[in-house]
C-alpha cells in the first residue's frame, strides 16, 4: 500500500519513513486482552528510547492480532470503541506524569495523547473501513507518531503548507471522496486531535472524546 507508485499512498511522510527505514514495528496480541495492553505499553516505552535516532519521519507501527470473530462481527463503530478502550487502558500503565506543556483536557486544541512523557499523534486503520481506503487495513492497526515529527510540518511553515496541499490532494485521489472535515492543523482553534485519530467512514464525528485518563487516575486513587 505505502510503496505503490501506481496508486500513491496519501501520507508522504509515512511513505518516506517506510522507504528510509525510519519506522519501527510492534506486533501485539488481541486488543481485547489486558496482556496485549501491557505489550503495547512496553512497546511504547522501548520505542521512546530509540525514536529520535531512527530519522525525521519516525513512527511506531503497531499491528494487533485481529481474530476471526472480530473480522466477521466488528463494524467501524465497534472498532472505534475498541480503539478508545485500548488508549484508556494503556494509559493506566503509564508511569510518568503527563507533560506540563500538553493539556490533559481533550477539548483543548493543544491536547495530544501522551505516554511515558512523549506526545503522540495516533493514526488508526481497521478492516471495517471500506469507503475511506486510507483508513483501511486487514488487521487493527495503529501508528504512533511523535509530536516532534511535525515541528516543520505545520501551518506556520511554507514546507508545511505545501505538504498539506499535496497530502490532501492525494487523499482525495486515493479515497475517491473529499477529506474528512475533522482533518485540520494541530493548534488551530477549531481543531481537536482526538477526532483525527479515528475517522468515520462517512463525515460523522463524535461529540465527546472517549479518553478518560483523569477519570481512570481518580478511580485508581479511590481504590
Instruction: Examine the pLDDT at 220 and tell me if it is beyond 50.
Output: no
CA–CA dist 33, 122 (Å, integer): 20
pLDDT of residue 13: 87
Distance CA 186, CA 64 (A): 27
For residue 219, the model assigns a pLDDT of 47
Question: Of 20, 221, 2, 19, which is closest to residue 123 (Cα–Cα)?
Answer: 2
**Sequence-separated (6 or more) residues with CB below 8 Å from residue 48:** 116, 117, 118
pLDDT at 155 over 90: no
Question: Could you tell me the three cell numbers for 160?
Answer: 508545511
**pLDDT digit string, tens, across residues 105-153:** 998 989 999 999 999 999 999 999 999 999 999 999 999 999 999 887 7
Average pLDDT over residues 171-176: 93
Q: Tell me the CA end-to-end span of the chain in Å, nearest whole number.
A: 46
* Residue of 74, 168, 89, 83 whose CA lies nearest to 127: 74
Q: In what order do the strands lie in the sheet with 23-28?
A: 23-28, 59-64, 141-146, 118-125, 113-115
Q: Is the pLDDT reported for residue 35 higher than 70? A: yes
pLDDT at 189: 75
CA 62, 151, 180, 77 dihedral sign is positive
Task: Give the three-state DSSP class for 141.
Answer: strand
Asked whether the beta carbons of 136 and 125 are under 8 A apart, the reply is yes
Please report the pLDDT score of residue 178 as a whole number.
92
pLDDT above 60: residue 218: no
Of 30-34, 134-138, 183-187, the one with minimum mean pLDDT is 183-187
Instruction: Please state, rounded to an integer, the average pLDDT across all residues of the chain.
Output: 90
How far apart CA 148 and CA 162 sit, in angstroms, is 19
pLDDT of 222 above 50: no
Domain positions in the chain? 12-222
Question: pLDDT digit string (tens) for 59-96?
Answer: 999 999 999 999 999 999 999 999 999 999 999 999 99
Q: How far apart are CA 57 and CA 145, in angstroms?
A: 8
Amino acid at each position: 500500500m505505502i510503496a505503490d507508485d501506481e496508486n500513491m499512498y496519501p501520507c508522504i511522510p509515512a511513505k518516506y519513513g517506510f522507504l528510509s527505514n525510519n519506522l519501527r514495528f510492534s506486533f501485539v496480541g488481541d486488543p481485547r486482552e489486558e496482556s496485549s495492553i501491557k505489550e503495547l505499553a512496553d512497546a511504547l516505552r522501548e520505542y521512546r528510547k530509540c525514536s529520535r535516532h531512527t530519522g525525521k519521519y519516525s513512527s511506531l507501527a503497531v499491528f494487533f492480532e485481529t481474530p476471526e470473530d472480530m473480522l466477521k462481527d466488528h463494524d467501524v463503530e465497534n472498532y472505534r470503541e475498541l480503539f478508545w478502550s485500548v488508549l484508556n487502558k494503556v494509559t493506566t500503565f503509564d508511569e510518568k506524569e503527563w507533560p506540563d506543556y500538553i493539556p490533559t483536557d481533550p477539548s483543548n486544541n493543544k491536547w495530544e495523547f501522551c505516554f511515558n512523557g512523549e506526545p503522540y499523534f495516533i493514526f488508526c486503520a481497521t478492516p471495517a473501513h471500506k469507503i475511506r481506503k486510507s483508513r483501511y487495513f486487514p488487521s487493527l492497526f495503529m501508528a504512533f507518531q511523535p509530536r516532534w515529527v511535525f515541528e516543520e510540518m505545520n501551518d506556520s511553515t511554507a514546507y508545511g503548507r505545501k505538504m498539506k496541499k499535496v497530502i490532501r490532494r492525494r487523499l482525495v485521489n486515493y479515497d475517491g471522496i473529499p477529506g474528512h472535515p475533522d482533518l485540520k492543523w494541530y493548534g488551530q482553534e477549531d481543531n481537536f486531535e482526538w477526532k483525527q485519530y479515528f475517522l468515520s467512514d462517512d463525515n460523522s464525528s463524535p461529540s465527546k472524546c472517549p479518553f478518560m485518563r483523569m477519570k481512570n487516575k481518580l478511580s485508581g486513587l479511590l481504590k
